[in-house]
C-alpha cells in the first residue's frame, strides 16, 4: 500500500490496525486539566480546607463560575488556572472529563452550571 501522508490528517485516516507511536497522557496515568476543569479540580481540592490566609485556604465558587479564596483580611482573590494546566492522576481527573480544559480540550461545560455556583453568594 502507498505511504500515509500525515500532513493531511483531516482527509487521511490510518488503517484500523495501525497505532500512534507514543502514549497519550491518559495512557501514562496522568491527565492535564486546564481552564474550567483545572478550576473545578482546585476548588474541589480546597473547598473543605481549613480557612487560612493564602491560596492554601478554603476555596469558594462564585455565581459567575469563577473560583476564589479569602485572605486573612477577608479580601477575595480570584484563582486562575496555570497557563499550561495542572497534571493530575488519571483516576482523579475522570470526574472532570465533561469540563472545558480536560486533557486540553477546548469544548465542554463551564462552572456556571454547577449547583454550588447557582447557590453562591458572590
The domain spans of the chain are 25-119
Q: What is the mean pLDDT of residues 85-99?
A: 94
Higher-confidence residue of 116 and 52: namely 116
Q: What is the mean pLDDT of residues 67-91?
A: 88
- What is the pLDDT, as a whole number, of residue 87? 95
Using alpha carbons only, what angle is made at residue 57 by residues 84 and 60, rounded to the nearest 5 degrees?
75
pLDDT band at 10 (very low <50, low <70, confident <90, very high): very low
3-state SS assignment for residue 102: strand
- What is the pLDDT, as a whole number, of residue 121? 54
Tell the residue number behind the cell numbers 497534571, with chain if given. 87
pLDDT above 90 covers what percent of the chain?
31
For residue 93, pLDDT beyond 70: yes
In contact, 31 and 101? CB cutoff 8 Å: no
Q: Rounded to an integer, what distance in angstroms lies between the CA atom of residue 114 and that of residue 11?
A: 38
Helices (H), the chain: 25-28, 35-46, 90-93, 115-119
Highest mean pLDDT among 3-7, 16-20, 25-29 belongs to 25-29
Amino acid at each position: 500500500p502507498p505511504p500515509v501522508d500525515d500532513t493531511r490528517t483531516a482527509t487521511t485516516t490510518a488503517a484500523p490496525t495501525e497505532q500512534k507511536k507514543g502514549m497519550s497522557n491518559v495512557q501514562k496515568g496522568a491527565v492535564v486539566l486546564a481552564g474550567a476543569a483545572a478550576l473545578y479540580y482546585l476548588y474541589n481540592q480546597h473547598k473543605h480546607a481549613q480557612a487560612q490566609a493564602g491560596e492554601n485556604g478554603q476555596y469558594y465558587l462564585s455565581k459567575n463560575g469563577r473560583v476564589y479564596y479569602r485572605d486573612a483580611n477577608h479580601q477575595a482573590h480570584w484563582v486562575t488556572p496555570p497557563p499550561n494546566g495542572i497534571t493530575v492522576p488519571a483516576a482523579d481527573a475522570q470526574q472532570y472529563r465533561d469540563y472545558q480544559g480536560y486533557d486540553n480540550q477546548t469544548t465542554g461545560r463551564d462552572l456556571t452550571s454547577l449547583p454550588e455556583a447557582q447557590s453562591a453568594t458572590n
